[in-house]
Structure 1
């Protein structure tokens, strides 16, 4: 499955991806797969245990929303699926412009 408007693949986690989470929450929702390359191939996460705890905490502490964070396995490789649903929020808003770019704006 290729990346598209509501699906994003990331090889590893960076806090800058909180913008994507916020953008999905302000739009129609979406999924971020951490541990997959741009083509959707699984690259495996060595630090998946730590990320399973830190990602939901960062999302909750930064934006005040919760999302589903699930560990997925394919053979001996592990990756994380983060599911974000549409939320009404008065926090900072981001609009998704392309699959690789985010534009900042306030309501």
Structure 2
């Protein structure tokens, strides 16, 4: 586990469904890891019912993104956190009909000309 966020490692104190956009962006770019239960300073926070969270998050990733993600419970010091790793995909991945990519430490929706360039690059044409 890294002690700080990078372009492909993000920390979140707790789970929110909006983080499916981040997982989508990881799949569309270089891949990455989302660590749930870690604050922005790299300190672990207590997660309630982490085993249920693991199951819920795994199901949401499968249902909404249809990507293979490695979802595991890991430990930092004495606290457990959830690690969600996703590899980059050759095909584009969408969430609720929208395509997301990561740019630096941000996730944003791709549309218009940028979406066209992205899809051409994914298909190997550009």
Give TM-score scaled by structure 1 length: 0.90
User: More helix by proportion, 1 or 2?
Assistant: 2
Displacement over 4 Å in runs of 4+: none
- Give SS of 2:89's match: coil
Structure 1 pair 6–90 and aligned structure 2 pair: CA distance change class (3 A): closer
CA distance in 2 between partners of 1:71 and 1:41 (Å): 16
Q: Which runs of 5+ in 2 are unaligned?
A: 120-126
Q: 1:96 aligns with which of 81, 97, 102?
A: 102
Cα shift at 1:96: 1.2
Q: Aligned Cα RMSD in Å?
A: 1.4
Q: Which residue of 2 aligns with 1:36?
A: 38
Give TM-score scaled by structure 2 length: 0.77
Total equivalences in the alignment: 106
Which has the larger Rg? 2
CA distance in 1 between partners of 2:92 and 2:4 (Å): 31
Cα shift at 1:76: 3.5
